[in-house]
């Protein structure tokens, strides 16, 4: 495949993702991503050299309905966004494979280790490597355009993508904003993402489910608070 063919294929899959509802699309070099806590078998991960990160926006109108706890409106929206992301990732992977490449779509929301909130890989870490945002104090991806009001999916591939500019951090970060710290009911959010209390967050998610607010471990309170940059 010539460079011009590669460029056309990349344009095709990017346009496909955007047409399906994505608001962000980036490419990352997997060699630049810390993979120590990924839960994909090493022999599977070794087949791929690059990753595509795809972002869709969360509805601000839906988020505005969240008060002290998540609700069924948000829970349904959350699941529909995950389904949308999985469909986009599948179509992108199919387009790459139809062009003779290998591609592995990773489920948007499929935790393998619930207590530690770990999935097959870190979608947010891939997105940071693809230049789409940074990890905020709430331990979520923060984008300049949508704050943390996004959801993510990843497609691994051996397609020789040109990685997007490296992470926006520290050129952009959360600055003086601490809105997420103020609203977190678990007190899990600290001054830095590295100090985020996963166990406290998980305990709060379990409590929300026990109280019958939602049927899965979701929250959305800090997502609602994390607004786009002006």
For the stretch 127-145, pLDDT in tens is 999 999 999 999 999 999 9
* pLDDT exceeds cutoff 60 at 11: yes
pTM of the model: 0.91
Provide the pLDDT for residue 29. Answer: 92
Backbone φ and ψ for 18, nearest 5 degrees, come out as: -65, -40
Q: What is the mean pLDDT of residues 26-46?
A: 89
Q: What is the mean pLDDT of residues 1-23?
A: 90
Residue 160: count other Cβ atoms within 10 Å of its Cβ.
12
Residue recorded with tokens 């959801």: 151
5 is catalytic: no
Burial 115-149 (b: 16+ CB within 10 A, else e): eeeebbbbbbbbbbbbbbbbbbbbbbbbbeebbbb
The pLDDT confidence band at residue 22, using thresholds 50, 70 and 90, is very high
Determine which one of 5, 11, 37, 113 is catalytic: 113
For the stretch 41-61, pLDDT in tens is 889 999 999 999 999 999 999
């Amino acid at each position: 495949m010539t460079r011009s063919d590669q460029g056309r294929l990349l344009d095709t899959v990017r346009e496909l993702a955007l047409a399906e509802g994505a608001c962000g699309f980036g490419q990352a070099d997997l060699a630049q991503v810390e993979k120590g806590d990924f839960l994909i078998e090493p022999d599977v991960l070794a087949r791929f050299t690059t990753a595509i990160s795809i972002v869709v926006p969360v509805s601000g109108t839906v988020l505005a309905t969240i008060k002290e706890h998540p609700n069924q409106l948000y829970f349904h929206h959350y699941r529909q966004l995950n389904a949308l992301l999985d469909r986009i990732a599948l179509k992108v992977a199919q387009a790459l494979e139809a062009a003779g490449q290998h591609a592995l779509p990773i489920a948007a929301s499929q935790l393998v280790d619930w207590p530690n909130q770990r999935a097959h890989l870190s979608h947010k870490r891939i997105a940071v490597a693809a230049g789409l945002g940074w990890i905020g104090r709430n331990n979520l991806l923060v984008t300049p355009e949508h704050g943390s009001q996004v959801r993510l999916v990843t497609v691994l591939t051996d397609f020789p993508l040109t990685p997007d500019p490296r992470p926006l951090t520290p050129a952009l970060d959360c600055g003086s904003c601490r809105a997420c710290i103020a609203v977190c009911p678990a007190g899990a959010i600290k001054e830095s993402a590295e100090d985020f209390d996963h166990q406290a967050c998980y305990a709060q998610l379990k409590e929300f489910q026990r109280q019958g607010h939602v049927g899965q471990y979701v929250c959305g309170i800090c997502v609602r608070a994390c607004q786009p940059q002006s």
